[in-house]
Amino acid sequence: MKIVIVGAGRIAWHLGKRLKSKGLPVSQVISRTAENAETLADSLQATWSDSPAEVLPDADWIIIAVRDDAIEEVAKAFAPYVQDTLVTHTSGGTAGAILKPYFERYGVFYPLQSFSLEHTPVWSKIPFCVDAQSDSDVLLLKKIAKTIGNLVYHVTDEQRALLHVAAVFANNFANRCFAIAEKILDEKDLPFELLHPLMEETLAKALQDSPARMQTGPAMRGDVDTVRRHLNLLGDHPDWQEIYRELSENINPDLRS
């Protein structure tokens, strides 16, 4: 099949390389920044363009791998040049239905992972959440996802919206707490490595059982004195102090007073 990737960011890079390695080479890369399109296309041995009008007329699958707030703009730009082609985006937080006004065949091909250019994804552990407006295209996307990964789920727009919220809590917010912890230690010349075993144990427990049942700490115990001491220690960082207070009260509403 002829595959076109629109975008040249992190997901486009990793997904393009994975598709190629599994015998599904990308035929064309299109990005509004010509230099980025050419760089990615060269690495994939594909053609490139910075114009939607030059999209391959016989493309079988167009993957829109751009920022959430640019998806509809890109769809509008490509709509006049796309006929009977399956068009999907890779976003977890945007409904597939956003493509409905522009394409007859549309859907979502969402790898649930945080991508960075410096880190090679372990594709066998990445869940692929797929959806499309027709059963045949759902089956096609499932087949492709199974070829390049291992974990494949049919997830509707409604389900994926809440899944994305959950992912932000599990990834982005958790990582922000890691970053705050690192800064707290750094201020006292303590290495962040001190917390690595604890972080690893916390994740291991959460994966083995319900995180709610694994919850520990002063808030869970209702240890008001310790919570108060911690808040006082964070007095020079009112934003961190507020995060600590909100999370503690969320864990144990009895702390609200």
CB 102 within 8 A of CB 77: no
Residues 17 and 131 in one domain: yes
Residues 62 and 176 in one domain: no
DSSP 8-state class, residue 168: I
Which residue, 130, 155, 180, sits at the end of a domain?
Answer: 155
Residues 85 and 147 in one domain: yes
Residues 143 and 168 in one domain: no
Structural domain count, the chain: 2
- Domain of residue 17, CATH code: 3.40.50.720
Which residue, 122, 155, 188, sits at the end of a domain?
Answer: 155
Structure tokens at 79: 């709509």
pLDDT at res. 204? 94
Task: Quick: pLDDT tens for 214-239.
Answer: 999 999 999 999 999 999 999 999 99
Residues 23 and 142 in one domain: yes
Residues 179 and 118 in one domain: no
Long-range contacts of 140-143 (CB under 8 A, 24+ apart): 140/86, 141/88, 141/107, 141/109
Residues 34 and 51 in one domain: yes
Q: Which residues contact 87 (CB under 8 A, 6 or more apart)?
A: 61, 62, 64, 75, 78, 99, 102, 103, 105, 106, 107
* Integer Cα distance of 115 and 113 in angstroms: 6
pLDDT at res. 243? 97
pLDDT at res. 175? 96
- Domain of residue 247, CATH code: 1.10.1040.20
pLDDT at res. 192? 98
Residues 95 and 142 in one domain: yes
Residues 27 and 90 in one domain: yes
Residues 107 and 123 in one domain: yes
| Sole residue written with tokens 């809440």 | 162
Which residue segment(s) compose the domain that 147 sits in? 3-155
pLDDT at res. 118? 79
Q: Which residues contact 6 (CB under 8 A, 6 or more apart)?
A: 12, 30, 31, 62, 63, 64, 65, 66, 74, 78
**pTM, rounded to two decimals:** 0.86
Task: Quick: pLDDT tens for 94-109.
Answer: 999 999 999 999 999 9
Residues 17 and 142 in one domain: yes
Which residue, 136, 155, 174, sits at the end of a domain?
Answer: 155
Residues of the chain with pLDDT under 50: none
Residues 190 and 80 in one domain: no
